[in-house]
Chain A
Amino acid sequence: MMLIDCPWCGPRGHVEFTYAGDATVKRPAPDASEAAFADYVFLRDNRRGPHRELWHHTAGCRRFVEVHRNVLTHEILGTSAPEVSK
C-alpha cells in the first residue's frame, strides 16, 4: 500500500483516497472551443515517470490532494494542496 502524505491529515494509506487522475488538465474558460474542451476531457500526457495527479481523501478530510508521483516506480516526490484552475 502506498503512503500518501495528506497536506491536511498527515500520512495515510492510499486506500483512504480515491484516485482522480491527471492534475495538470485544467477546465477551459466557458468561451473556449469545443476542441479545447475535448482535449481537456479526453487527452492525457500519460507520461512514464513523474506525474502530477489528484487524489481525493475520501475517508479523511475529503479534500483533493495533488500528488507528485513517479508512475514507473510509484515513488512519491511530494504532495501539496492542488493548484487550482484560475
Chain B
Amino acid sequence: MSLAYSALSLARHALTGHRHWPRAWRDPAPKPRYSVIIIGGGGHGLASAYYLAKEHGITDVAVLERGWLGGGNTGRNTTIIRSNYLLEPNAHFYEFSLKLWEGLSRDLNYNAMVSQRGVINLAHSDSQLDQFAHRGNAMRLNGIDCELLDRAAVQRMVPILDYSDHVRFPIYGGLLQRRGGTARHDAVAWGFARAADRRGVDIIQNCEVTGIRVENGRVQGVETSRGYIAADKVGMAVAGHSGHVAAMAGLRLPIESHVLQAFVSEPLKPCIDTVVTFGVGHFYVSQSDKGELVMGGDIDMYNSYAQRGNMPMVEHTLSAGLAILPMMSRLRMMRLWGGVMDMSMDGSPIIGKTPIEGFYINGGWCYGGFKATPASGFVFAHTIAQDRPHKLNEHFTLDRFDRGAAIDERGAGPTPNAH
C-alpha cells in the first residue's frame, strides 16, 4: 500500500482498520561512523538532516536525540510563526522561514497545520504606534507583508478584546502580519523526521551525547550513551542546552539558559481567530484547533535548565491576559509547563561555524526558535555541507560579539534575560 499520506490512503487504510500503516520513521541502531552527526532531535536538528539530504544529497546522516523526538522546545512552545522583524538579518531570515512554512506540509507530505490566521501586536500609545510604524515600514521595504491597524480595525479582527476605557492600557491600534499564524509543533518534528528518514537519515532516539571528541582542532565524533560514533562533521542543534553541549567541546558561548513558561486553558468553542500579542504586558495568546487558549509570557528571569517555572510569572502573565481579555477570568488554566531557552547576548540566534573544524553550532534562539525551524535547518544544512554560511545566516556568526556586530532587535544590550 502507498506510503504517501493523503485522504485517499486514509480511506484505503480505513478498510483494513488502519492495521497496515508503516512506522513513520525507522528505529535504527547507530552505525560506527557517519558523514554528519546532528546532535538534537528537535525541529531544528531534524530539519537540518532533512535539508542535508534533500538540498545537498548528504544522506549518511544521524540525528542523535537524548530522549524522544521533539521533546525539547519543539514540543513546548506556543507554536507561533511570523516574520515581523525590524533588523534586516532577522527580517530576511524569518521571511525565508515563513515562505518555507507555506509549502511545508506538502513538501513533507505531513500536515503541519500551518495556519496563517494573522499575528497582531497591540499598541497602547502614539509612541508605540510610531515604533510599530518603524518596524512595519522596515518590513515592507524588506518585502514582508505588514499592516498598521487603527483601533477600529483591531476591533473588527479581534472583537473579544476589551475596548472599554476602564483599562490600564487602552488599545490604540496594532501591527498586523496576515501571513503570520501558528503551526502544529509536534507535527513539525514528526513530519521532518519521517521525511528525513525516507531519504535515508538515521534517527536515533534515547541516545544522549556525553562527550565530543576533538583532536588538533578538528572534531572526530561523539561519545554517546550508546557508544562512540565517529563523524566527519558534527552539528549541534540543542537550543536550551547549547551551553551544556558546547562545553563538551570546550566552548563558552554568549548564551544563558532561561526557563519560559506556557499555559493552556480548557478547550472552548472558537473565540479568538488570530494570534494576539500584548507587548506591554509580555502576554500573547492564540487558540489551538482543539479549542484551548494557548498563552505565553516572559521568561522567569533567572538561569534555569529545569523545564518548569514558578508562580509569580504565571500570575503576572495571566493578569496581563485579563488586562486585554477580561472574558478569560472564569475560564480555567488546564496545564502549564516550561521550556529551556538559549537566551543569547543580543537576542538573535547563532548559526554557523565554531573555532573547532567540522563542528557547527545552531542555537541562541531565545523565544524565536519554533518559527525559525525550516529556515534554520535549511541554512544550517548549507553551512555544514559547504563549510561556509548561507547568505541568510552570514550575520548570525559566533564571533559577531567580538567584532561589535551584534544584532540587537530590542536594544537591550548584553543582558540575556532582557531580550
The chain A residues found within 8 Å of chain B, CB to CB, are 1-2, 13-15, 19, 21-22, 35, 38-39, 41-48, 51, 53, 55, 69, 71-74
- Would you call B243 and A1 a contact (CB within 8 A)? no
- A38, B303: Cβ atoms under 8 Å? no
Q: Is B17 an interface residue (CB 8 A)?
A: no
Pairwise interchain contact B243-A35, C-beta atoms closer than 8 A: no
Contact residues in A for B345 (Cβ distance below 8 Å): 41-42
Chain B: minimal CB distance from A54 (Å) = 11
**B405 on the interface (CB 8 Å rule)?**
no
Residue count of chain B within 8 Å CB distance of chain A: 27
Q: How far is the CA of A72 from the CA of B244 in the complex (A)?
A: 12
Contact pick for A74, options B244, B304, B417, CB 8 Å: B304
* Residue contact A46 to B256, C-beta cutoff 8 Å: yes
Residue of B nearest to A41 (CB): B414
Q: A15's contact among B241, B242, B254, B312, by CB below 8 Å, is which?
A: B312
Q: Report which of A1, A42, A53 forms a contact with B303, defined as CB distance below 8 A.
A: A53
| Residues A19 and B301 in contact in the complex (CB < 8 Å), given A1-B312, A46-B255, A46-B257 | yes
Q: What separation, in Å, do the CA atoms of A21 and B416 have in the docked complex?
A: 9
Residues of B close to A39: CB separation below 8 A: 252
Minimal beta-carbon separation of B97 from chain A (angstroms):
26
Interface of B is mostly: mixed
With both chains docked as a complex, state the minimum distance between the C-beta of B14 and any C-beta of chain A, in angstroms.
46
Across the interface, which residues of A come within 8 angstroms of B244, CB to CB? 46-48
Selected A-B contacts with CB under 8 Å, 13 pairs: A14-B312, A42-B401, A44-B253, A44-B254, A44-B255, A45-B243, A45-B247, A45-B252, A46-B242, A46-B243, A47-B247, A48-B241, A72-B305
Residue in B closest to A40 when the chains form the complex, CB atoms? B414
A53 and B416 CA atoms in complex are apart in Å by 14
- Provide the residues of chain A in CB contact with B312, threshold 8 Å: 1, 13-15
Cα of A1 to Cα of B305 in the assembled complex, Å: 16
Chain A interface, >50% SS class: mixed
B306 near A71: Cβ-Cβ < 8 Å: yes
Task: Let me know if B401 and A1 touch, CB within 8 A.
Answer: no
Contacts of A35 in B (CB 8 A): 402
How far does the alpha carbon of A13 sit from the alpha carbon of B302 in the complex, in Å?
Answer: 14
In the complex, B311 has a CB within 8 A of chain A: yes
Q: Binary interface profile of B, 234-277, with partner A (CB < 8 Å = 1, else 0)?
A: 00000001111001000011111100000000000000000000
Query: In the complex, what's the smallest C-beta–C-beta distance from B148 to chain A, in angstroms?
Result: 35
Is the beta-carbon distance between B247 and A43 smaller than 8 angstroms? Answer: no
Q: CA of A42 to CA of B414 in the docked complex: distance in angstroms?
A: 7
Interface string of B87-121 (1 = CB under 8 A from A): 00000000000000000000000000000000000
- Complex alpha-carbon distance, A38 and B301, angstroms: 23
Other-chain residue from B252, B301, B310 in contact with A44 (beta carbon distance below 8 A)? B252
Q: Is the CB of B306 within 8 A of A73?
A: yes
Once the chains bind, are A38 and B402 in contact (CB under 8 Å)? Answer: yes
Please, which residues of chain B bring their CB within 8 A of the CB of A22? 256, 303
Instruction: Give the shortest distance, in Å, between B320 (CB) and chain A (any CB).
Output: 16
| Minimum CB–CB distance for B334 against chain A, Å | 22
CB-CB under 8 A for A71 and B305, given A2-B310, A38-B401, A45-B243: yes
Bound CA–CA A13/B306 (angstroms): 19
**Cα–Cα, bound, A73→B305 (Å):** 8
* Known contacts A1-B311, A15-B312, A46-B243; is-contact A71 B304 (Cβ 8 Å): yes
